[in-house]
Amino acid sequence: MAAIGLHRGKYQVRIRRVGSPSISRTFSRKKDAEAWAVVTEQKMEKGDYEPDKALRFTTLGELLECYSKEVTPTKRSQEIEVMRIEKMKRSWISEIRLLNLRPHHIAKYRDERLLTIQGNAVARDLSLISHAIDTAIKEWNYPLKRNPVSAVRKPTSNRSRNRRLESEEEQPLLDAVNHSQNIWVAPLVELAIETAMRRGELLNIEWSDVNLDKRTIHLENTKNGSPRTVPLSGRALEILNTLPRDISGRVFPVSAVALRGLWRRACKRANIENLHFHDLRHEATSRFFEKGLNVMEVAAITGHKDLRMLQRYTHLRAEDLAKKLG
């Protein structure tokens, strides 16, 4: 049965039915409130009523589940985000009702995560939770007055990594990926070292983006939103020429999640510690500078808009500089 009341100059409708959560909505005009109540009750009688998204979840975990189905698929990093959400859903914080979620819960979750992962990763987790809650409030009409994440101090960022592939590590790494049962991981790793392309960029390349005659790969969707064309070295061209063509049209038909596992196993097999796949971009960029390319030339290849960002990539090896000094 629908009940309509006047609250602060607006008409609030509330419909209660046995076995279902109550439904409410606010209108400026009484006749709009009455019309919505009639239509909604008729739909409920016929079994045709689909509740708002906000009524599909009560806990943070249920919100994250809804978010992963509605919002995450629109992102380029959807595979990684789904994996992060699944991990969050196994945490105690996912069981807390949204209406009871407070800043101290978020702070406790932050501090526990900081014991096992770096600050940048924790900050990404908090950002994901915050965006999910903002989406629930702004788009799904969830009755929260404030996002509790906004009141919590964000973890300090870690120092930018300057990890490079050491000379004694490169061959064991290449041997490890070449012994993988997955035929794509070895050429993917080598191309990363040759081009300084990001993991997501490599995984999204299609053969239609590759021009072997002009020795280029065109990247339409990049992290900074600006398309760029990557020139190919002789070795990069050789790698691409040896690859089989997959029916999907993708140069590397591998998921981001699969690549993460393949990379972890390859590093373990090569007995290499603390080497991330993204470090290959750092290695490649540093090699461009060592070959004598200037900042503008390197930026054209890597896609850096802020040239100051390239300063952290120019960790030239002292022994190489010594040779130049004579």
Contact 251, 232 (CB under 8 A): no
198 has catalytic annotation: yes
Output b/e per residue, 236-272; b: 16+ Cβ within 10 A: beebbeebeeeeeebbbebebeebeebbeebbeebeb
Q: Find the catalytic residue in 84, 113, 198, 282.
A: 198
Q: Find the catalytic residue in 16, 223, 235, 317.
A: 223
The three-state DSSP-derived secondary structure of 60-103 is HHHHHHHHHHHCHHHCCCHHHHHHHHHHHHCCHHHHCEHHHCCH
Q: Find the catalytic residue in 10, 43, 278, 317.
A: 278
Side-chain-facing half-sphere of 326: CA atoms under 13 Å? 0
What are the tokens at 278?
A: 């993204």
Q: If 0-12 CB within 10 Å is exposed, 13-18 middle and 19+ buried, where does residue 179 land?
A: exposed
Contact 88, 129 (CB under 8 A): yes
Q: In what order do the strands lie in the sheet with 23-27?
A: 2-7, 10-15, 23-27
3-state SS, residue 201: helix
223 has catalytic annotation: yes
Sign of CA dihedral 187, 201, 80, 252: negative
The neighbouring-strand residues paired with 24 are 14
Q: Find the catalytic residue in 218, 228, 260, 304.
A: 304
CA gyration radius for the chain? 26
What are the tokens at 113?
A: 């995560």
323 has catalytic annotation: no
Cα–Cα distance for residue pair 61/119, rounded to 1 Å: 22
Residues identified as active-site: 198, 223, 278, 281, 304, 313
